[in-house]
Amino acid sequence: MVPVTLLNPKNGDRILDMCAAPGSKTIQLLEYLHDGVVDKVKTNGFVIANDADAKRAYMLTHQARRLNLPALFVSVIDARKFPSFKCGSELRSFRFDKVLCDVPCSGDGTLRKNAGLWKTYHAHLGHQLHPLQLEILLKGLKLVKQFGRLVYSTCSFNPIENEAVV
């Protein structure tokens, strides 16, 4: 949950969670967004929780319903192709205040608690995922406003998936 804390969401923020499912970080974002709001219906911000997999996005929706907090939009789009929106009378490009890029990764940071991963793990998983991670990060940078905040994170220790991407 450290990535959400580093994102530092506040009431009124317009937030994009690019790779959201299964939804624990999205739920945390919503809780921050509604923190201190007396009337939960009247928050000024929102979270768009996106995932490329429809089944995983459905799980996210199911988890979020338990909180019954407004201001959540769920989309099913490849994060690399997330659309740019135009808004206002001048049709300016819409930018998010905060963007979370918790990208798909090899998961080698979870080897100690996920014994099943040992069966499929090999050192080159990071090489396979690096181009995808880089494209998601670049798209996120295009969608965050100037002086906004983007947090890139993985659950991997592999520098190919972390430092090399950044």
Determine the residue type at 149.
Answer: R
How many Å separate Cα 23 from the centre of its chain? 9
Give the residue numbers annotated as catalytic, written as ranges.
155
Q: Which residues pair with 48 in a beta bridge?
A: 16, 73
Give the total residue count for the chain: 166
Q: Which two tokens stand for residue 21?
A: 């499912």
Please answer whether residues 32 and 9 qualify as being in contact, where contact means their C-beta atoms are separated by less than 8 angstroms: yes
Cross-strand partners of 101: 152
**CB environment 59-83: b (16+ within 10 A), e (fewer):** ebeeebeeeebebbebbeeebbebe
Nearest Cα to Cα of residue 96 among 38, 23, 33, 22? 33
